[in-house]
Homo-oligomer: A and B are copies of this chain.
Amino acid sequence: MNQKAKNLADLYRDTLLNNVIPFWSNHSVDWSNGGYFTCLDNNGKVYDTDKFIWLQNRQLWTYSMFYNRLEKRSEWLKIAKHGADFLAQHGRDKDGNWYFALDKLGQPLVQPYNIFSDCFAAMAYSQYALASGDDLAREIALQAYHNVLRRQINPKGKYNKAYPGTRSLKSLAVPMILANLSLEMDWLLEDTQLEEILAQTVREVMEDFLDADTGLMYENVTPEGQHLDCFDGRLINPGHGIEAMWFIMDIARLNSDRQLIDRAVDVVLKILNFGWDKQYEGIYYFMDAQGYPPDRLEWDQKLWWVHLETLVALLMGFNLTQRSECWSWFERVHDYTWKHFSDRHSGEWFGYLNRRGEVLLNLKGGKWKGCFHVPRALYLCWQQLEILNSK
C-alpha cells in the first residue's frame, strides 16, 4: 500500500503543481483590467470576458490558500493581490453586498441576489488577509461573513420568487457552506461562536437533511426536516451530499467524534451506491429520490467537481476509518476521473461530460467552473495520500 500511496501522492501533487496551477497562472489573469478570466477553452484561450463573482473569489481563495499552506511563492501572492484589489474596488454594491457578475472592466452586470457570492468573498478575503496581513482584507472578510449570517434565513432576499407560506423548504447548501466558511474563518471568530455554528450545522445536516431510512442526503427539506413530495423535495445531488460529508468528517475529526465520522462515511457509501451509473460508470449529477424523472435536463451528466469531491471524501474516510469499501471505491472513482476529466496535454481538467463520459463542452473554465475544485481536491487528496503513505 505504501508504494501505491506514494505513487498516487506524486501524481496528485505533480498534476497540481505542473499542470493545473500553471494553466490558471498563464491564462486566466487579466493583467489589463484586473481580476481573472474564467471562460477558457481547451487550450486556455479566453472566449468570454465576463467576471463571475463566485469564481473570482474562489480563485483569490485558491492562490491565497496555496501561498498560506503550500509555499510562500511571491507569484501566487501577486496573482491573489491582483484579484483582491479588483474585487475590493468593484465587487460590492453600496451596502456591501456582493454582486453576482461584473463585466471585464468591473462594471456590475448582475445584482447581489445570491448569498454564495458573499460566502466565497468571506472565504477568499479571510485567506488573503492571512497571506497578505492586509487589514482591509480582514475587514472585507468579516463584512461578507456578517452578510451571510444576516441573509441565511432568506438567501435570495427580494429576488426570492417563492410565495410565502404555501411550501417552506430549506436548502442543504446553506448549513454546508456556513460550516465550511466558519472553519475557514476560525482565526477571525470567537471560539464559542465557531463551536456553536459547527454544532448547529452538524445537527441540521445529519438530522434534517439526512434521510435515516435510505442514508441519502436530500437537497431540500422542510424547516422541521421533513420530506415534501415535489421536484425540489425529492432532489438528490450526489456530489453535493458527498462533499457535505467530508465537511462533516473535518468537523468530527476536530472533536475526535468517531461515531460521527462513521456515520458520515456510511452516507458517502450509500450515496455512491445510489448515484453511481451502473451502465456507463461515473456519478450522476441530479437524481429523484423516488426514481421519477428529475426536472433538471442535465441530470445524467458527469461533472468534474462531483468526482473530485468524492475522491476527497473517500480518502479522508479511509484514513479516518480504514474501511476497505472506501479504498475500493476510491480506486474505482480515481480510475474514472483520471481517464475522463484530466488533460495531460493542455492543462486543467474538462468539466462537463455526457452520460457516456464523452466531453460535452470543450472548455477548461466557464461561468461555473473556475480555479477551485480541481486544485483544491488535488491538494487535499495529495495531503491525504501523504498521511496514508506515512502510516
Contacts and interface: CB of A to CB of B under 8 A. Distances in A.
Interface of A: 39, 41, 47-50, 99-100, 103, 107-111, 113, 158-159, 161-163, 166-167, 229-231, 290, 292-295, 297-301, 352, 354-355, 360-363, 366-367
Interface centre among A39, A292, A300 (most CB of B within 10 A): A292
6 contacts: A103-B167, A109-B163, A111-B161, A295-B366, A297-B298, A298-B298
Given A111-B161, A163-B108, A300-B360, A230 B292 contact: no
A39 B113 CA distance: 30
B111 A293 contact: no
B109 A162 contact: yes
B230 A48 contact: yes
A138 to B, nearest CB: 28
Contact of A230 (B50, B161, B355): B50
B158 A158 contact: yes
B298 A47 contact: no
Contacts of A360: 297, 300
A367 B299 CA distance: 15
Given A161-B100, A162-B110, A293 B362 contact: yes
A367 B108 contact: no
Contacts of A158: 158
Contacts of A294: 361
Given A295-B366, A297-B360, A50 B231 contact: yes
Contact of A355 (B290, B292, B293, B354): B354
Nearest to A358: B355
A39 B293 CA distance: 9
B354 A110 contact: no
Nearest to A234: B48
A110 B165 CA distance: 11
Contact of A99 (B99, B163, B363, B366): B163
Contacts of A108: 163, 166
A20 to B, nearest CB: 19
Contacts of A47: 290, 292-293
A329 B176 CA distance: 51
A290 to B, nearest CB: 8
A300 to B, nearest CB: 7
**Nearest 9 CB-CB pairs, A to B?**
A297-B298, A108-B163, A293-B361, A47-B292, A293-B363, A107-B166, A111-B161, A295-B367, A113-B161
Contacts of A352: 297
A213 B367 CA distance: 28
A354 B353 CA distance: 13
Contacts of A100: 161
B41 A293 contact: yes
Nearest to A368: B295
A140 to B, nearest CB: 20
A333 B111 CA distance: 42
Contact of A109 (B48, B167, B361): B167
A162 B111 contact: yes
A234 B114 CA distance: 25
Contact of A293 (B50, B295, B366): B366
A103 B166 contact: yes
Contacts of A355: 354
Nearest to A160: B111
Contacts of A230: 48, 50
A244 to B, nearest CB: 22
